[in-house]
Amino acid sequence: MVGARPWWMRVLGAGLALGCACSTATAQVEKTQESEPALPTTVLRVTTRVVAISAVVKTHEGAPATGLTKTDFELKQDGKPEEIRYFSLGADLPLTLALLVDTSGSQKTFIGDETLASDVFLQSMLQRPEDRATVVQFDSRVKMLGEMTSSASALHMGLMSLGRDPSANGGTLLNDTVGAVAEKVLARETGRKAMILLTDGGDNGSRSTLAQAVEKAQKADVQVYSILYSAAHEGGGRLGGPAGPLVIDDGLRALQKLSESTGGQVFEVMQGHSLRQIYAEIAQDLRLQYQVGYVPPPDLKPGSYHRLELRPKDRRLTLEARKGFFAKP
């Protein structure tokens, strides 16, 4: 503990403090040219009042369901039907990624694999100048390893320094890190926003609760993709062998809560399911997302929480999306 400054001001590297920012952007809607004029699509670019929802839709076999339009979905807020006003493919929108890597003592042996796999993943995701990413490591401290950038080489340099802080001691500020990055970094961004969380799910020393971390991620409209990387699970973390159900522990429960509440997914590194394979699955989801938007009723109390139900009309399809949102102030 150093002085009386907030923890996130003390631990971040020079010039990389996680500052607050409030968006004053207004909604801009653009028409895109479709091959079938009968099905025009409006693309949501930037919004304040509009509630945007990123959705991944799959067939019963687990393959991406492509070619859907807004008429293939139904949406409810607090149990009441709402009109989907905006619709586009996620690939049409800028992508902002925050990679959060647990570098506490229990994760040290995985850093080499995480560095190499993450390097390939980030390079593959930054396809356009407006696509950007940053890398954050956390243990007893939280440290951004570079500014938000579209430069693959800058991200590579950040990854090369993972876990090389000799002053770090015992502790895993998972909840604090998720909440701070969501609130101080990603909340200011527009377009699609995703957080990739590499950890065993354990928290040791956070001032924030898991519920508070979830709330900040939801307020920032961030999807959390959690990757469980743990010696306790690797190769034998499923009952009955690799095909059996996951062994549920506190770390996995925390990751499930973070991801399911924000429309992301939980993955597990294990024998036959490498980190690179998991990254490929996440990349496919992010590329094939559908982005829908609607205008909520004007009388919502600022800061109030509201349930969302987005479903495909074809009940043979499955859909993953966030379960709710907080009304803007």
Q: What residues form DSSP beta bridges with 226? A: 197, 266
Looking at the domain assignment, is residue 164 inside a domain?
A: yes
State pLDDT tens for residues 78-120.
999 999 999 998 777 889 999 999 999 889 899 999 999 999 9
Q: What local confidence, expressed as pLDDT, does residue 15 receive? A: 36
Nearest to 100 by CA among 88, 114, 82: 114
Looking at the domain assignment, is residue 19 inside a domain?
A: no
Q: What is the spatial distance between Cα 25 and Cα 297, in angstroms, rounded to a whole number? A: 19
Is the pTM higher than 0.85? The answer reads no
Q: What is the spatial distance between Cα 100 and Cα 121, in angstroms, rounded to a whole number? A: 14
Question: pLDDT averaged over the chain?
Answer: 82
Looking at the domain assignment, is residue 167 inside a domain?
A: yes
Q: What local confidence, expressed as pLDDT, does residue 37 receive? A: 41
Looking at the domain assignment, is residue 53 inside a domain?
A: no
Q: What local confidence, expressed as pLDDT, does residue 49 receive? A: 80
Q: What residues form DSSP beta bridges with 97? A: 133, 194
- With left for phi above 0 and alpha for psi between -120 and 50, is residue 78 left, alpha or beta? left
Total domains in the chain come to: 1
Looking at the domain assignment, is residue 187 inside a domain?
A: yes
CATH number of the CATH domain containing 258? 3.40.50.410
Looking at the domain assignment, is residue 58 inside a domain?
A: no
Instruction: Show the domain range for 100.
Output: 92-287
The helix/strand/coil state of 290 is: strand
Pick from 45-49, 202-206, 218-222: least confident: 45-49
Pick from 90-99, 102-111, 245-254, 288-297: least confident: 245-254
Looking at the domain assignment, is residue 157 inside a domain?
A: yes
The helix or strand, by DSSP H or E, that contains position 106, with its residue range, turns out to be: none
Q: What local confidence, expressed as pLDDT, does residue 164 receive? A: 82
Q: What local confidence, expressed as pLDDT, does residue 39 receive? A: 40
> Amino acid identity, residue 217?
A
The helix or strand, by DSSP H or E, that contains position 36, with its residue range, turns out to be: none
Looking at the domain assignment, is residue 36 inside a domain?
A: no
